[in-house]
Amino acid sequence: MLKQIAEQLVKTGSYINGRWQQSAQHFTVLNPANQQVLLSVADASASDAERAVCAAADAFASWAALPAAKRSELLQRWYQLVMQHQDDLARLLTLEQGKPLSEAKGEIAYGASYLQWFAEEAKRLYGDTIPAPSNDKRIIVQRQPVGVVAAITPWNFPNAMLARKAAAALAAGCTFIVKPAHQTPLSALALAELAHQAGIPAGVFNVVVGTDAKAIGEVLTQHVKVAKFSFTGSTAVGKQLLKQCADSVKRVSMELGGNAPFIVFDDADLDAAVQGLMAAKFRNAGQTCVCANRILVQQSVYQAFADKLAIAMTQLKVADGLTDGCHIGPLIDDKAVAKVTQLLQSALDDGAKLLLGGSAHSAGAQFFQPTLLTDVQPQMAISNDEIFGPVAALMAFDSEQEAIALANSTEYGLAAYFYSRDIGRVFRVAQALQFGMVGINEGIISNAAAPFGGVKQSGYGREGSKYGLDDYTDIKYLCLGGLQPAM
């Protein structure tokens, strides 16, 4: 399988200080479509992570001192190389992560778009001058890179989540170490190879791959040479990492779990809402933090919407992500399958009705049927946990007020979606929803120009957009005194 991918992109160990590392210990990377071993990879230790931090610290001064135009040029070159290798990178991603090849290609372009975006933003790290309280002074504000940035990235977007953190960090003048999820290290290592080819200097971008998440995570969150830590993953793990960052008072960005409501009002275009939901629910087999989790449908259009959705869902093809025309690949591992099965069973036990699917799919052990549940209630576990699987859970509501209250009744606040053609309602509901991102008549909200991030227990910090550099820069105020007032 890996043989069809350019050899230079298939790496078997961490990338630290511009060099490929080997070690005595190895771990295997599995294809979630068939559980076969794809590759054996050197298992990095905490001391490898420590070396990466020191390399990034040593490289910081010269990287930060490069003119922004030069950093921009290197990021641009990295972007071009990623796009040149889009097909191979996508294949590698599908093999280790499982998503359909067409989605994997989309993810490579999505990740690359952050490299391109921040190559441009690097040149716009503007400061400010502020009128001073007296004429003998000037107030000047500059933005400076925070220093060494460490990150932990998830398995659901092995390319894009890494690219969007690294691009912003490097553009701001920071150096970077990432520990990708152990299930999907190969996409991260391929990105490192292309960073190397792009001419990004040794120590500026480092990838540490290993299974000892606890020990490596402790180095990345506690090392005094790390100035900032960025994490994408579950809220439970994020809380633990936050505590670990507290002792050395690190800057922190957290992109954590979600429980996205998807509201369909009675004035919505139902066909558009079904189309939006298919994208927001089934992207990556339902394994994204912004996937629609609770589908709230106004009573008067509930049955019509459920019928249309059931028809759309029967068109979904479940298969190995490399199969032509596949929409839904495998879930990442057996634990993911067990969690979806258990949430579904508990909803059925509590009175939800099964309209479609409901069990594992014949394509293999980690495949799950697209499943449609109706009569879901707010107190059920499926309404309160992230499903992270291809299960659409429908709940009815009567009034706009009730929909807003139901949508907001969660500790999460990442993404929300709603469909309505009433302009007054559009502004009222958008204002009332307690979420960092709101899709209005739209199921796909992620792009490099937009600020991605949440509120409440979904975390803080924004990735992408003109705000994306803020998390990687410190504001420095210069007070220039002793000036002669104008005569």
Q: Report the nearest approach of ligand SIN to the CB of residue 116 (Å).
A: 16
**Number of other CB atoms surrounding residue 62 within 10 Å:** 12
Q: Report the nearest approach of ligand SIN to the CB of residue 110 (Å).
A: 7
CA distance 358 to 364: 15
The amino acid that residue 38 corresponds to is L
- 288 is an interface residue for ligand SIN by CB under 6 A: yes
- Interface residue with ligand SIN among 274, 289, 326, 376 (CB under 6 A) is 289
- 366 is an interface residue for ligand SIN by CB under 6 A: no
Based on its alpha-carbon atoms, the radius of gyration of the chain, rounded to whole angstroms, reads 23
Binders of ligand SIN among residues 81 to 120 (CB under 6 A) are none
Q: Report the nearest approach of ligand SIN to the CB of residue 17 (Å).
A: 29
Q: Which of 96, 255, 400, 463 is catalytic?
A: 255
In the complex with ligand SIN, the residue whose CB is nearer, 71 or 327, is 327
The site for ligand SIN, by CB under 6 A, has a size of: 9
Q: How far is CA 52 from CA 165, 241, 248, in A?
A: 17, 19, 18
Q: Which of 289, 291, 326, 400 is catalytic?
A: 289
Contact 392, 281 (CB under 8 A): yes
Query: Closest residue (Cβ) to ligand SIN?
Result: 446
- 290 is an interface residue for ligand SIN by CB under 6 A: yes
In the complex with ligand SIN, the residue whose CB is nearer, 60 or 452, is 452
**Number of other CB atoms surrounding residue 266 within 10 Å:** 17
Q: How far is CA 116 from CA 80, 170, 179, 386, in A?
A: 9, 12, 22, 32
Size of the chain in residues: 487
* Helix, strand, coil distribution of the chain in percent, nearest 5: 40, 20, 35
- 232 is an interface residue for ligand SIN by CB under 6 A: yes
The amino acid that residue 176 corresponds to is F
Contact 124, 152 (CB under 8 A): no
Sheet containing 138-145: give its strands across: 128-130, 138-145, 473-480
| Per-residue binding letters, 390-429, with ligand SIN (x by CB under 6 A) | ----------------------------------------
Q: Does 255 qualify as catalytic in the annotation? A: yes
In the complex with ligand SIN, the residue whose CB is nearer, 374 or 446, is 446
- 259 is an interface residue for ligand SIN by CB under 6 A: no
| Per-residue binding letters, 441-460, with ligand SIN (x by CB under 6 A) | -----x-----x--------
- Interface residue with ligand SIN among 114, 157, 302, 472 (CB under 6 A) is 157
In the complex with ligand SIN, the residue whose CB is nearer, 212 or 471, is 471
In the complex with ligand SIN, the residue whose CB is nearer, 262 or 452, is 452
CA distance 137 to 281: 56
Q: Report the nearest approach of ligand SIN to the CB of residue 70 (Å).
A: 29
Q: Does 121 qualify as catalytic in the annotation? A: no
Contact 157, 332 (CB under 8 A): no
Sign of CA dihedral 159, 165, 170, 176: negative
In the complex with ligand SIN, the residue whose CB is nearer, 5 or 469, is 469
Tokens linked to 457: 């227990």
Provide the binding-site residues for ligand SIN, judged by CB under 6 A.
Answer: 156-157, 232, 255, 288-290, 446, 452
The catalytic residue positions are: 255, 289
